[in-house]
Structure 1
C-alpha cells in the first residue's frame, strides 16, 4: 500500500490541533487532536512511499512505534486515504498509459472523493474503459453527451442518427461547423474519437472485460435517448423501448423541446417506470393526451427545434453526469425520476415516475430502489 491523503480535498487548520480536509459539507472531515509532529508527518502521505518507508521516517521524526499504522487506519476509516497502487490490473494498465491517465486525473480525483475506499476511484475509472454506451441522437444534446462520456474514459461510445448535419446542430462540445453537410453519424464518430483520452479500446478488448454479446463486442451498459426532436425524450415511445426492456438494458432519456429541458428518467427494466408506464400514467391524468400526442408524432415538426444553446449544454452536462454515476455503480437521482427545467427562470424541478400496474414491463409489482442524497456536516474523527 502507498497511502496518500486524497489530493482533491483541500486542507486547512481550524485551530492549532484540528485540521479539516475538504471544503464542502458533503465530503469535509475534521481530524484532531493533531500534535506538531503528526501534522508534519501528514505531508508525507502523498502516495510515493510504502508503509515500511513511512514507518522509518516517522521514527526519525520522533513519532512512537505504531503511530503510522494507527494514523493510516483511522484516516482510511474516515474516507481520507487513497492508495496510489490500488485498483487492480485494469487500473495498473491505465496508469501505464501516461497520455490517457494524465487526461483523466481530475476525474480520478473526483471519484476518489466520492468513493471512500482506497483504490475505489481508480478501479471505477479503469472499468469505464470496458463499457459500451449507445447515444441515440446527434443534435445539440446527444452529440455533446457522447463527447463528454468519451472524454470521461468510457471505452465504447456509439452515436446513432441519420441524415446530414445542419447548421443548427453545431454546438460547443458537440458537432463542429466543419461537419455541416456531412453525415451526422460519421461526424459523431469523429467527435467521439477526438474527445477520447488516447486510443479507444478495440472491440475485442472491451468484450473480454465487459461480457461478450457473441458478436465480438461488449453488451450495452446503457442507452441514452437524446433525440434532436426533444418530443421523443419528453414523451418517449413505448414501442421504441421494447427491445431494451426485453434485453434488460438500462436507458436514460434527455432532451430539449419548446425551450424546456428534461433529464430522466433512468429506466431500470422491471425495476422502475418505463416509457409504457409514463404513457399509461399520463393518459390516466389527461384522457386527451394520447390523441394529441398521436397528432404531434405524425405531423411535421418545425424546421428548427426550440433548443437554446445554454439550455442544451445544461441538459447534456447533467445527463452525462447522471450516466457516469450509473456506470460507476450508483443509482443517481434520475432513477425513476424526471428532472425538468424551462426558460426563462430555469428552476429545476423533479417528477417521480411511478410504475404503472397495467404496464407489461412488470415494474408495477416491484419495490423500487430509491436513491437519496443529503449533505452532511463535517465528521469528527480522532487521529492522534
Structure 2
C-alpha cells in the first residue's frame, strides 16, 4: 500500500488537507486532527496496511478511522494497495497512475483492455511509426503494421528509424523497432484476426482500395491524411454508424466537380516527408483518438476531421455528415442533401 506515484496529500491548514493538486481532481478533507494529518503525510512511503494501522495506533488514531481515511484516498485514485510487477517491467506505470487519477479509482481494467486490443497501422512514414510507438507506449498489446515502401531519409528520427534503416522496407523495420523498444508488444496475430481498429496513414488523399474492405467487413478505422501544409486526423469511421471515407470524397466532389480527377492524381503521387511538428501533433492527436475508442471514452473525430497544422497550436475542425448518395448507412438518396460544415 502506498500513495500512488504522482499523487499528493497537501497540507492546507490545521485540520484540512487536500488530495491532488490539480483543481479538477482535488478533494479537500476537513475535520482532521493533527495526528491524522501526520498519518496522511507519511503515506508517500511504500508500506503495508498493517504498518499504517500500527502507525495510527502510535498516533492515537483508532483502526476504523484509519481505514476510513484510506478508503477516502482510494476513492479518489490516490491510494494504491498493490501493483502487478509486470506494469513496471513493461514501463506502463505512468499510464496506470495517470488514468487512475483521472477515473478516481484503480484503472488496471483500462490497461487490461488495451493489452487485449489489436490495432493495425497501415502506412509507416515517420508519422505512422511515431503513431504506432505511441500506442505501444500506452499499453496496446498487439500492433499489426504494414507498409511495403522503403524507409527514406525524411523518415529518420522521431518514430525510431535510424540512418541504417534507409532503403529497408518500412513494415519490416517498424516491426523490429517496436519489438526492440516494447518487448511486451505483439507484432503478429493468428490468421483472420479481426483488428479492433485500423489506422490508415495516407498522403494527399485516402486510398479507396484500402477503405472498401474495411467498410464491407465492418471494421472501425481512423483516417489520417498528410496534405501539403497540414494533416487531417479523422473521421473515425464506424461502418453503418456515421460518415465513411467515401462520404468525405462525395462531399468534396459536391464542392468541386473536378475533385475526382485531382484525387486520382494525388493517389499516384509519391509520398513526401512529413514536417516534424506536424508529425508530432498529428501522431499525438491520432493516438489520443485510438485510445479513447479502445477505452470506451468519447472521441472527437466521430464524423469530424481535425486539421493539425504546425502554424496553429489548436486543430481546426471539419464536420462530415453522411452523404445521401453513398449508401454506407442505408439512407435513401435525398436531392440537395446535407452539406459539410465549413472548415
- Quick one: distance in 2 between partners of 1:199 and 1:257? 34
Conserved in 1, the CA contact under 8 Å of 2:175 and 2:187?
no
- Quick one: distance in 1 between partners of 2:291 and 2:310? 26
2:126 counterpart SS class: coil
| Structure 2 counterpart of 1:144, from 127, 130, 134 | 130
- Quick one: distance in 2 between partners of 1:33 and 1:282? 62
| Structure 2 counterpart of 1:312, from 271, 275, 279 | 279
Indicate the residue corresponding to 1:111 in structure 2. 99
- Quick one: distance in 1 between partners of 2:89 and 2:68? 36
Indicate the residue corresponding to 2:201 in structure 1. 226
Conserved in 1, the CA contact under 8 Å of 2:117 and 2:142?
yes
**Residues paired across the two proteins, number:** 331
| Structure 1 counterpart of 2:241, from 268, 271, 292 | 271
- Quick one: distance in 2 between partners of 1:180 and 1:129? 31
**Unaligned regions of 5+ residues in structure 2, if any?**
333-343
The reply on whether 1:243 has 2:218 as its aligned counterpart is no
Distance 1:364 1:48, change over 3 A: farther
Matches within 5 A, 1:1-384: 2=1, 4-42=2-40, 43-44=42-43, 48-50=47-49, 54-85=52-83, 92=84, 95-96=85-86, 99-100=89-90, 103-118=91-106, 120=107, 122-196=108-182, 198-201=183-186, 215=190, 218-227=193-202, 229=203, 231-232=204-205, 236-297=206-267, 300-301=268-269, 305=272, 307-362=274-329
Q: CA deviation at 1:287?
A: 3.8
Conserved in 2, the CA contact under 8 Å of 1:282 and 1:289?
yes
Distance 1:66 1:107, change over 3 A: same
- Quick one: distance in 2 between partners of 1:151 and 1:97? 12
Distance 1:135 1:55, change over 3 A: same
Conserved in 1, the CA contact under 8 Å of 2:122 and 2:146?
yes
Indicate the residue corresponding to 2:335 in structure 1. none
Q: TM-score, normalised by structure 2?
A: 0.84
Q: CA deviation at 1:155?
A: 2.1
Q: TM-score, normalised by structure 1?
A: 0.76
- Quick one: distance in 2 between partners of 1:162 and 1:79? 44
- Quick one: distance in 1 between partners of 2:235 and 2:266? 21
Deviation per CA, 1:39-86: give whole Å up to 9, x if none: 122233766323x5544432332113421232233334444444425x
- Quick one: distance in 1 between partners of 2:137 and 2:319? 31
Runs ≥4 residues deviating over 6 A = none
Single out whichever of 183-192 and 12-21 deviates more from structure 2: 12-21
- Quick one: distance in 1 between partners of 2:195 and 2:296? 15
- Quick one: distance in 2 between partners of 1:304 and 1:282? 22
Conserved in 2, the CA contact under 8 Å of 1:12 and 1:21?
yes
User: What's the RMSD between the two structures over aligned residues?
Assistant: 2.9
**Unaligned regions of 5+ residues in structure 1, if any?**
86-91, 208-214, 366-384
Q: CA deviation at 1:134?
A: 0.8
- Quick one: distance in 1 between partners of 2:48 and 2:192? 40
